[in-house]
Amino acid sequence: MTGTVQGVGFRPFIYRLAKAHGLSGYVKNLGNHVEVLIEGERADIQNFLIDLPEKKPPLARIKEIKVKTITFSGFQEFIIVHSEPGIFENSIIPPDTAICEECRLEIFDPSSRYYHYPFTVCTNCGPRYTTVRTLPYDRENTTMADFPLCEQCEVEYTDPLNRRYHAQPVCCSKCGPEIWLSDSKGKLIAKNYGAIVKASELLEQGSILSVKGFGGFHIACNARKDGSVKELRRRLARPEQPFAVMAKNMEVVESFAEPGDAGRKCLMSVRRPITVLPKSKNFSLAESVSPGLHNIGVMLPYTGTQNLLFDLAPDSVYVMTSANLPGRPMVVENEEALEKLRGIVDFHLLHNRVIANRNDDTVIRVVNGQRAFIRRSRGFVPEPVELPFEVEAAAGVGAEMNSTITLVKGKLAYISQYIGNTSHVETFRYHNEVFEHLVRLTGIEPLNWGCDLHPSFNTTGFAMNRGGEKTLQVQHHYAHILALMADNSLPVDSRILGIALDGVGYGGDGTVWGGEFLGSSYFGYERLGHLLPQPMPGGDLAVKNPSRMVLGMLSGRLGEAELEELPLYFPRGKQEFSTVMQQLQKNINISMTSSTGRILDAAAALLDICKMRTYEGEPAMKLESAAKKSTQWVDLPLVFRKRGDPAVPVLDTTELLLGVYELSGGKYSSADLAFAVEEGLTKGISEIAISLARKNDFDRIGLSGGVAYNDHISSGIARYLKEAGFELLMHRHVQCGDGCISFGQSLVAGLGIDSERTR
C-alpha cells in the first residue's frame, strides 16, 4: 500500500483486520509504502482485501494497493515488524489534525485519566508534522522524545489492539507536556487545568493573551469586545488587517456568519482550516474584527487546549491571529514569545513541548462553488500532491511574497508550509531552514532547481548559489499556469490557455506583468494577450498608495486641474500630487504594469473605498466587499486594442477607469460602480480568452493568480466561458496565489526544460 500510511495507526489496523479474518503473516513499514504478507484460506484473504480500503483509519489515505501471490511460508501468527532505518526516501508524514471525538470526550470525562489534560491524542488525531525532527517517524525522532512514557501510557503504546498503539505524541498528565499561565514577564500565575480556567476568565474580561499551539503561537482576545480588538490593533500596528476568529461549534458560527454547505464542510473537517465566510445580517462580533469587509475568517477548535477554553465560555468567540509581524515567521518558542510579544500581550498560555516545524493555519475560501486555498499549511502539509507524470528530483524555491518551497521526484510533489515574505532577513532564514528540513524528511536531493526570473529576489539568489548551472529561471505567471495544469492532473502533452491575474510578477520583457493570457504547455509558453500596460509612478509606492495608480492611468485623458479634484489621498498632500504629476510628464521613476491587481486598487482609490494599502490585497478586497452592496447594473465601456509585434489583443483598462470617473457623483453609488468595474474586467477578460481559445484551438482554459480569490470575477469568468462552450479550470489542491509558484518552478526543473522557453 502506498499513500499516507505512516503515523496514522495503519499497522495496528492491519494487525486487527488480519486477526479478525483469521490470517497469519506480517505488516511492516517501508517508509514510502507498507508491505503486508497474509496467509490463510482464500475466502478470508479476499474478505481482508475488501475490508482494507473500506475500513482504513480515518487519517490514512491509500493511493495504490498492489497485490501478488507468493509461495506459502507457514506463518503461525500475525505480527507487526518494526521500522527499519535508512529506507525512508519519499516517506509521507501525516499532517497535524484536530483532536478526534474520542479523545475530546475523554478530556471532559471525570472518570478518564485524560480528564482536563490538553495534550490527549491517539493514532487518529493530534500533531504529527510539527513534532517530527527526522525519520523514521518514531517517538525518539520527534519532540515527544523529551517525555518518556509512564507505565500506563507504555501499556497503551505497545498494545496493537489499543487506539494509541504507536501514536508517537501519546502521553498523559503523569508523563507528558505541561501547560501554565504567566504574566507578560514570565511570572507563573497558574498551572495545568487551572491555567486554562484563569486564561478563559482573562479573555472574558478583555485581556490579550498569547496561546501556544501545535505549530506556533496565536494572539487571542475576545472578538465580541470592540475595545479589546481595537487595543490589539493598536499594539500590533495593524489598523485594518482582518483577524481570524475561533468559535466553539457551528451553532455559534452561524450566529455571526453564513457558512453554506461548502463552508461547513471545510470548517468541520479534521484539518480545521480557517474558512473565509460571508458575514451574516445579524453579525454580532466587534466590527473592528474585519473592518470594511463582507466576510470573516473562521475556524473551530482543533487542540485540546482550545476545546477546554471554549468549554468554560461556550458562547464566546475569540480572535486567533498568528503571533508574527506580516510576512514574518510565527513565534514558536516560549522565550521568543516573552521577548517579541512584550507590550503586545498581557498574559501567556504556554507549554513545554518543542515545536520542531512552525506551521501556520491553513486559510480557505469557497470561490465559484469550490474550495480555494489562500494559504496551505497546517492540516495539509507535508501531504504530497500527486503528479500526472514522472519527474527527476528537483526543487522550486518560490517567488518573494507568500513563498513556499516544493521538492519533486517521481510522481510526488511535496509543497512546504506557508513561509512568508522572503525579502525580510528573518523570513529568508526560515525559508532556508524549511528547505533543509524538507530535504531530510523526503530524502529528495535536487538535481535541478527552479526559481523566479526576478534577479533581486533572495530566493533567486538561493537557487543560483545552490544549483549553479542546474538552475532554471521561470517566468512568474508561467509558473502559475504550470502549477494549475499539474493541480488538475493534465497529462504531459497537454496544452492550455492560461489566464494569470495577480498583483505583480517580473515579465519576460522586463516590465511588471499581472494580467496575462498565456498559451502554455509543460515545455514552454507564448504570451498571447494581456491587459493594457499602465504607468506606476514611483514603482512600489504605487502599490502602497493606489491614488498614484489613478493618476498614472488617467493622466493621459484628464487635465491636471481635473485630476486634482479627484477624491484621492497623498500622505504628503499637494506636494506629493505635484511630484507624481512631474514624474508622469517627464517619464521619471515610472514602471509599466499589466497587473490586474493594480487596476482593482485604482478603482478602490477613485471610488474612495480604500485610500491607502495597509495590508496585502486590501484595496481589492474592500472593492469586492463594496460591490456586494450594489443595487443597480452599470455598463462600462469595453475597448480592445492590438499591441506588440506580433500584435496581440489587449483590454484597455484606462477606458474602464475613465468610465467609472465619468459616472461617479451621479445616480450610481460607489457600490454600483465597484461592481461595474469588476464586471467589466470579468467580461473583457472572458471575451479575450474565448477569442484566443478559438483562434489557437485550445480546448482548455484555466485561471490562476491572487485575483482568482475574487468570487465575482472567478465565477463570472466561469459563467461567460460556459456560455461559450468552455469549462474553466481552477486550482484544487494548491494555492491560487504565489504559494503555488514553487510548485510550477519545480515542474520546469523536474522535466529539465530548456529555460529559454520558460522565461
Q: Are 312 and 107 in contact (CB under 8 A)?
A: no
Grid cell 489515505 in the structure block, residue: 61
Instruction: Please choose, from the candidates 747, 34, 35, the residue with its C-alpha nearest in 3D space to the C-alpha of residue 385.
Output: 747
Contact 37, 75 (CB under 8 A): yes
CA atoms within 13 A on the CB side of 268: 12
Beta 317-322 vs 78-81: how paired, if at all?
unpaired
- In 361-439, DSSP assigns E strands to 363-367, 370-375, 385-396, 406-415
Q: Which three cell numbers stand for residue 232?
A: 490589539
Q: Chain centroid to CA 612: how far?
A: 25
Tell me 248's DSSP state.
S
The upper half-sphere exposure of residue 723, i.e. CA atoms within 13 Å in the direction of its Cβ, equals 9
How many residues are given for the chain?
759
Q: What DSSP designation does 500 have? A: E
Backbone angles phi, psi at 656, to 5 degrees: -60, -50
The neighbouring-strand residues paired with 347 are: 183, 209
Q: What are the backbone dihedrals phi and psi of residue 473, each rounded to the nearest 5 degrees, phi first? A: -85, 135
Distance CA(3)–CA(383), nearest Å, equals 9
Residue 196, C-alpha cell as written in the block? 486554562
Sign of CA dihedral 460, 466, 468, 469: negative
CA–CA distance, 680 with 639 (Å, rounded to integer): 10
Q: Give CA 650 to chain center in angstroms.
A: 32
* CA distance linking residue 724 with residue 298, whole number of Å: 36
Nearest to 35 by CA among 71, 1, 65, 6: 1
> H or E element: which one contains 656?
helix 653-663
11 phi and psi, to 5 degrees? -65, -45
Spatial CB neighbours of 430, under 8 Å, sequence gap ≥ 6: 329, 358, 419, 420
Nearest to 742 by CA among 376, 398, 394, 377: 398
C-alpha cell at 488: 488538475
Amino acid code (one letter) for 188:
L
Distance separating alpha carbons of residues 208 and 200, to the nearest angstrom = 11
Upstream peptide bond of 329 is cis (omega within 30 degrees of 0): no
In the numeric block, the cell 505480527 is attached to 79
Task: List the catalytic residues.
Answer: 11, 29
